[in-house]
Amino acid sequence: METICIDPEPLLFELENFQTLEKDIILEFIKRDDLAIEEIDIWKYLVKWATEQDTNSSIITDVDMTDSHYQEEFEFTLLKKNIEPFIPYIRFCEMTRDEFYYHVMPYEKILPENLYESLIGYFMANLKVRDVILRPRNELISIDSAIIKGKHARIIIRWIEGINALTKELFAEFTCIYRATDCKFDYEKFIKVLDAIYSTSSSSSSSSKVLFIKVKNTYKIIGGYIGSHNFRDIYLLPKEHRNKDFILCLGSEKDSNFHIRCNVWRPYTQRFNNNNIGPWINFQSEVDHLKLHGQKGTCSVLNDRNFIADEIEIFHIDR
């Protein structure tokens, strides 16, 4: 059970037979504090599971099922019946305001009235929730990012460490040192950040940096990881010292998330370039690349290699 909690999406929620799992099995996982998944994703999976349960309900109704209004009411009644046992174990306050607005408020009818009113006060007026609030789940890595969430940070750390789902504890501190929209994608400020990185080289094997790019009009997140050396001096390193650097790609479909490991573990020309004639960023391997010049760029791991960046962030990671 602990192994599943470490990486629950592929090991539980994305299983082909998830919709056929018994309520009590799923409930045992939802109760746990060490379930490493965002609360909003738990909610989405539960709503999907509840709506696909057997509609041969024991609920007795005399309504005319040919009437669309009564049909909708009946479906909400079934949904409420199926999801009700899980409600006390959902950490609603761990969701963002947008997540609550778009994914929970449409299901107002299936929530206890007192809880819903309390959550409205919390998200809309910053009031204290009256009902008992469970503590946050403790297996996600905290990160203050406009691009990724804690579960993505956890994936990145697992890639960096080269570990699998059987490893339980992951600890890392992500510190944002650059955010493009804060400086309107200004080139000089971007280079200034790179200069600061260059002048504060760290020899610690537990200190590294990672870049994230939110691709406009998609759910894609691309970027690159460089270990305990500077962005701009990587091309000076012997090839054998670069085998932990990589281009990354994270993505999300409408209702699910996935990540793609790129085939660039041993790049030999991967580096940052501060020449304003060339690209701002130039990650390069024998077969893959990521280049950015302002908000525009190309990346070989995207179906359409050309892209526009909505946001760019660089994080310092301490492990």
In the DSSP assignment, the letter for residue 238 is -
What percent of the chain lies above the pLDDT cut of 70? Answer: 71
**pLDDT, average across residues 18-28:** 94
Greater confidence (72 vs 98) lies with: 98
In this structure, are 296 and 192 located in the same domain? Answer: yes
- Model pLDDT, residue 46: 96
- Say if residue 60's pLDDT is above 80: no
Greater confidence (192 vs 251) lies with: 192
- Say if residue 167's pLDDT is above 80: no
User: Are 122 and 128 in contact, with CB atoms under 8 Å apart?
Assistant: yes
Residue pointed to by tokens 């955010």: 179
- Say if residue 109's pLDDT is above 80: yes
Kindly state whether residue 141 falls inside one of the protein's structural domains: no
- Say if residue 311's pLDDT is above 80: yes
**pLDDT, average across residues 50-79:** 66
**pLDDT, average across residues 158-185:** 78
Q: 291 falls in which pLDDT band (50, 70, 90)?
A: confident
Contacts of 4 (CB under 8 A, 6+ apart): 11, 12, 29
Kindly state whether residue 253 falls inside one of the protein's structural domains: yes
Burial class (CB in 10 A: 0-12, 13-18, 19+), 125: exposed
In this structure, are 101 and 237 located in the same domain? Answer: no
Greater confidence (6 vs 317) lies with: 317
In this structure, are 196 and 115 located in the same domain? Answer: no
pLDDT in tens, 126-154: 888 876 667 777 656 778 899 988 878 88
- Model pLDDT, residue 240: 53
Greater confidence (4 vs 42) lies with: 42
Name the most confidently modeled range: 49-53, 64-68, 169-173.
49-53
Kindly state whether residue 39 falls inside one of the protein's structural domains: yes
Q: 225 falls in which pLDDT band (50, 70, 90)?
A: confident
Kindly state whether residue 28 falls inside one of the protein's structural domains: yes
- Model pLDDT, residue 319: 76
In this structure, are 170 and 283 located in the same domain? Answer: yes
Kindly state whether residue 79 falls inside one of the protein's structural domains: yes
Name the most confidently modeled range: 48-62, 75-89, 190-204.
75-89
In this structure, are 167 and 39 located in the same domain? Answer: no
Tokens found for residue 257 = 């998330």
Domain boundary among 125, 159, 184: 125
In this structure, are 25 and 96 located in the same domain? Answer: yes
pTM of this structure: 0.65
Greater confidence (109 vs 287) lies with: 109
In this structure, are 200 and 99 located in the same domain? Answer: no
Average pLDDT across the chain, whole number: 77
User: Are 14 and 256 in contact, with CB atoms under 8 Å apart?
Assistant: yes
In this structure, are 102 and 215 located in the same domain? Answer: no
Kindly state whether residue 135 falls inside one of the protein's structural domains: no
Report how many domains make up the chain: 2
Tokens found for residue 184 = 């309107």
In this structure, are 89 and 232 located in the same domain? Answer: no
Tokens found for residue 74 = 């009946």
Kindly state whether residue 275 falls inside one of the protein's structural domains: yes
- Say if residue 196's pLDDT is above 70: no
Name the most confidently modeled range: 68-82, 98-112, 238-252.
98-112
In this structure, are 77 and 205 located in the same domain? Answer: no
In this structure, are 200 and 106 located in the same domain? Answer: no
- Model pLDDT, residue 187: 81
- Model pLDDT, residue 267: 32
User: Are 138 and 34 in contact, with CB atoms under 8 Å apart?
Assistant: yes
- Model pLDDT, residue 131: 65
**pLDDT, average across residues 41-51:** 94
Q: Rg for the chain (alpha carbons), in Å? A: 23
In this structure, are 308 and 222 located in the same domain? Answer: yes
- Say if residue 66's pLDDT is above 60: no
User: Are 28 and 12 in contact, with CB atoms under 8 Å apart?
Assistant: no
What percent of the chain lies above the pLDDT cut of 90? Answer: 32
- Say if residue 72's pLDDT is above 80: no
Kindly state whether residue 132 falls inside one of the protein's structural domains: no
Instruction: Look up the domain containing 271 and give its range.
Output: 150-318
